[in-house]
Amino acid sequence: MINYDELNERQKEAVMHEDGPCLVIAGAGSGKTKVLTTRIANLILNGIPDYQILAITFTNKAAKEMKERLELLVPGNNALVGTFHSFGLRVIRENAIKLGMDRNFTILDSDDVLSLIKKILKDKGYNIKEISPSYIRNRISFIKNEMLSEIEIEKFFNTDVEKIAYEVYKEYQLRIKKNNSVDFDDLLVLPVKLFQSNSEVLEHYQNRFKYILIDEYQDTNEVQYKLVKLLSKKYQNIFAVGDPDQSIYMFRGANYKNILNFEKDFFNARVIPLTDNYRSTKMILDAANSVIKNNKDRKDKDLISHNGVGFKIKYMRAYDERHEIKLVIDEIYRLLDEGFKKKDIAVFYRTNAQARAAEEQFLKANMPYKVVGSFYFYNRKEIKDLICYMRLILNPHDDISLRRVINVPKRGIGLTSINKLEEISRINNCSMFEAITSGKELAFKNLIEELIMDSDSLSLTELVDDILDKSGIKASLDNESLEDELRLDNLMEFRSITASFEEQTGLVNLQDFLEEISLVADISEHKEDDDVVTLMTLHSAKGLEFDVVFLIGMEDGIFPHQNSFIEEGGLEEERRLCYVGITRAKKKLYLLNAKKRMLYGHENFNLPSRFIDEIDNNLLEVDSKIINNNKNDKIVIEDMYNDSDTDYNIGDNVMHTIYGKGVVVGVDKSIVTIAFSKNFGIRKLMKNHKSLKKI
């Protein structure tokens, strides 16, 4: 049963709204799920048949939570609660014949789609190394989700590769129809096309679902928007809940203007703002309000806290990315002494690449953590692949590494060939590398031998670039796919690890480097635990809450992201993302940045994020002892290299700060090879590193 006394006046107004369109602007932490489920229960208890109620959300997790809450209020109800895609699938199954399909149609997953696109490209004579199948898949998805007509496609698809995408799209559609299949995008597109072309079917569903509730309305894309409008057109009983200030999925096709235009789309719509926040303190909400008010394209609202004034937002400026995480960890230890638990603490960052430095410092500090929405950095597939290439360059007889990357990226060497190679090496008592004599495997062997030769004259960071280029890994990760873009980001961030190693040690020795990273890359050191600090991207944080939140990397070019400066509406989207990050915090919020940062293998000096300037000064507690410590700044900014490029020759005597006296035995570009005492042996170093002096 419903306890109406648990609702505030605005929530009660939304729950008890009867017929006609209604838009609920639900601010962060204002109880939107409670309003949605209680409204459904209220409709049922007031005589609306439960089977006439449709509630749609975006994720299975959100749908599951809504069903569970509703079951507590109205046990045994039959209201339909599900995702957009599950509803679309239901419509297709019920109308397969009308759509020209057999009832036993199959749904293609993303791998199936990619395989089919590759086959079509090959059949048409295109080289999939030159034209990315992932890019073609994304273009096909764009055509479907935007519901572009042939005229619109021909108008907007102007480049050569886009014209190929359209050509493949037409063939792709013919083949999946012939195979009695649909893809994930079709689960939305086909119901809309059916409703647009068959008024009888549309009216059936309009009569069936007279009351429609939509969660996270700000995240709807074009096809979802059309589906909702068609379904609700007859009775206009649409109840949309969302917050334009929390629209952060523009890169997925979400159009926050759908919620801003709700009153234009539905005449005489009732608008109810939920501004009472039951999550965060006044200080945190005032900070969120002061940032988001700088967006022009929004509906005005200020969140009101029910959790007291709270603490000021603490702003800390570190020397570099390592010091930034050290500040976070030091503060976490203080919080633990105050009684907070690790599971109540989260660290948010703008890009996955920032996680690497955080994970490394957390491991060194023995601070338990988990990474949400991502793998532990050194356990990510692309990083393990790259490390295996490096191990093969160091030791071509490493069968484990060879087996892993001989077909990465795919070069037509299948499991049968690998097993045969393994058998030959066993019979001849040699390594798999030595057993290679012909075929595509020989091309791979030649690649490794070329990389081994290159490694003699390249720094570690240059070697990483060399591997990524010559192996084809970089070319295989196109920037049009979000997944590929994240993987490429991670590989570029690996350059930061090699660059940091070179900066600190001066070494370019591959063996020393691989030994060094093995100390932090040991996966056994990374254990799952319930009481751990959570690390995640800001996009992953949507819908979550923590007692304490650290926002790191608050620098222009990182957050807001540099791409936002050139994309239309990009900066406002970044500001909404900042608003989401701030409003995840319940009790304490920390903002951190660094004066210099190694990211993607490049050292940058970034200005503090403009979002920090947008927060009222009286809400901030600035840690001046960190920010204004000029002595420490000097230590950080001090150049790690000699001013002049010393000219070394074979036979020169040198002194190293760690290895002592040595003799130059080789010089190649920026690298000098030195023979030290038998304790240290022969080492390769950056010849202008400050640790090395010619004597």
Task: Spot the catalytic one: 183, 185, 186, 215.
Answer: 215
Q: Which of 183, 185, 186, 216 is catalytic?
A: 216
Could you check whether the bond before residue 560 is cis, i.e. omega within 30 degrees of 0?
A: yes
Q: CA–CA separation, 285 vs 344, rounded Å?
A: 19
Q: Would you say 473 and 385 are in contact if contact means Cβ atoms under 8 Å apart? A: yes
Active site residue 37: no
Catalytic pick among 12, 33, 440, 503: 33
CB count within 10 Å of CB 565 equals 12
Q: Is residue 216 among the annotated active site residues?
A: yes
Catalytic residue flag (residue 416): no
The torsion angles phi and psi of 557, rounded to 5 degrees, stand at: 105, -25
Which one from 584, 586, 610, 684 is the annotated catalytic residue? 584
Write down the residue that tokens 């059309």 correspond to: 226
Residue pair 393/373 in contact (Cβ under 8 Å)? The answer is no
Which of 10, 32, 139, 144 is labelled catalytic? 32
Q: Residues near 632 by Cβ (< 8 Å), separated by ≥ 6?
A: 319
The Cβ-side half-sphere exposure at 636, using a 13 Å CA radius, reads 23
- How are beta strands 211-214 and 53-57 bridged, if at all? parallel
Q: At what angle do helices 439-455 and 460-471 cross, to 10 degrees?
A: 160
| Contact (Cβ atoms closer than 8 angstroms) between residue 232 and residue 203 | no
Q: Please state, in angstroms and rounded to a whole number, the distance separating the CA atoms of residues 466 and 615.
A: 44
Note if 361 is an active site residue. Answer: no
Crossing angle of the two packed helices 84-94 and 222-232, in degrees rounded to 10: 60
3-state helix, strand, coil in the chain (%, to 5): 50, 15, 35
Q: 77 near 71, Cβ under 8 Å?
A: yes
Q: How far is CA 580 from the centre of its chain?
A: 15
Catalytic-role residue among 246, 281, 354, 498: 246
By DSSP bridging, strand 345-349 and strand 369-371 are: unpaired
Q: The tokens of 440 are what?
A: 């595509």
3-class secondary structure for 402-426? HHHHCCCCCCCCCHHHHHHHHHHHH
Is 218 considered catalytic here?
no
Contact 107, 182 (CB under 8 A): yes
Task: Report which secondary-structure segment, H or E, holds 491.
Answer: helix 482-505
Structure tokens at 371: 């990474």
Going by C-alpha positions, the residue among 243, 305, 241, 308 that lies closest to residue 278 is 305
511 is catalytic: no
Sequence-distant (≥ 6) Cβ neighbours of residue 506 within 8 angstroms = 656, 685, 686, 689, 690, 691, 692
Q: Which residues are catalytic?
A: 32-33, 215-216, 246, 584
